[in-house]
């Protein structure tokens, strides 16, 4: 996931708005208590999500993949007054921790945290969505996209994390491709070739695809 020199990454973080005490706490507790803590969005990406949300000022955000709540809090900070973040995750073992962080954020009243299979929950959501953040199982990125694209408002933004997959998307000739890498290659191609959106793939952290519905 390290695509730039660590010193340059530190420089970028030092020249980004400071990570507040709650987000620092979420990072510490995730690293101390949760397996695969690298899955957390982190300072630079979290601030990017927060700024995108504030610029979009969405009424409704859908997040697919809550993890420990870092990205959800960043996104919810940009909601329109009275707006709502619906965040979905399949891992109920983190529920107590996540709800605690949401309560501390002061945004729990605007966050609809649902546990279950996103492929089953999303069809039940009416939308429309102004913003969607996909950061869940890579094998289903294409399915998530198909389920949400027609529920997006015109001008709505879809963000998808990990689309560079630690550089694995640059496949060496003759090398076997694992299922997750192939799923992300297919997803990136799907977005690139979808006339309903305009898009850019940003080399931030592990890669973020941003697509705006036309």
Domain boundaries, the chain: 6-213
- The CA-atom distances, in angstroms, between 111 and each of 1, 54, 83, 153 are 29, 16, 9, 20
Whether the per-residue pLDDT at 3 is higher than 80: the answer is no
Section 166-186 average pLDDT: 92
| pLDDT confidence of residue 115 | 98
pLDDT band at 1 (very low <50, low <70, confident <90, very high): low
Rounded CA separation 199/211 (Å): 4
Rounded CA separation 111/107 (Å): 6
The residue to which tokens 């995108």 are assigned: 52
**pLDDT tens, 42-87?**
999 999 999 999 999 999 999 999 999 999 999 999 999 999 999 9
This prediction has a pTM of 0.96
| pLDDT confidence of residue 82 | 96
CATH code of the domain occupying 6-213: 3.40.50.150
Whether the per-residue pLDDT at 88 is higher than 90: the answer is yes
pLDDT band at 172 (very low <50, low <70, confident <90, very high): confident
Rounded CA separation 98/177 (Å): 34
| pLDDT confidence of residue 136 | 97
């Amino acid at each position: 996931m390290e695509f730039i020199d660590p010193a340059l990454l530190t420089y970028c973080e030092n020249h980004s708005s400071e990570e507040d005490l709650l987000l620092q706490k979420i990072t510490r507790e995730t690293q101390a208590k949760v397996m695969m803590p690298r899955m957390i969005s982190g300072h630079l990406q979290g601030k990017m999500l927060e700024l995108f949300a504030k610029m979009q000022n969405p009424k409704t955000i859908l997040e697919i993949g809550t993890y420990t709540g870092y990205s959800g809090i960043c996104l919810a900070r940009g909601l329109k007054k009275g707006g709502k973040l619906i965040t979905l995750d399949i891992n109920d073992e983190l529920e107590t921790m996540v709800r605690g962080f949401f309560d501390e954020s002061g945004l729990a009243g605007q966050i609809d945290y649902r546990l279950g299979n996103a492929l089953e929950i999303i069809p039940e959501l009416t939308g429309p969505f102004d913003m969607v953040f996909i950061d869940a199982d890579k094998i289903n990125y294409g399915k998530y996209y198909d389920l949400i694209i027609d529920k997006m408002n015109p001008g709505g933004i879809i963000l998808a994390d990990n689309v560079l997959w630690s550089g694995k998307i640059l496949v060496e000739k003759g090398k076997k491709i694992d299922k997750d890498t192939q799923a992300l290659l297919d997803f990136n191609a799907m977005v690139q070739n979808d006339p309903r959106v305009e898009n850019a793939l940003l080399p931030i952290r592990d890669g973020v695809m941003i697509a705006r519905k036309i």
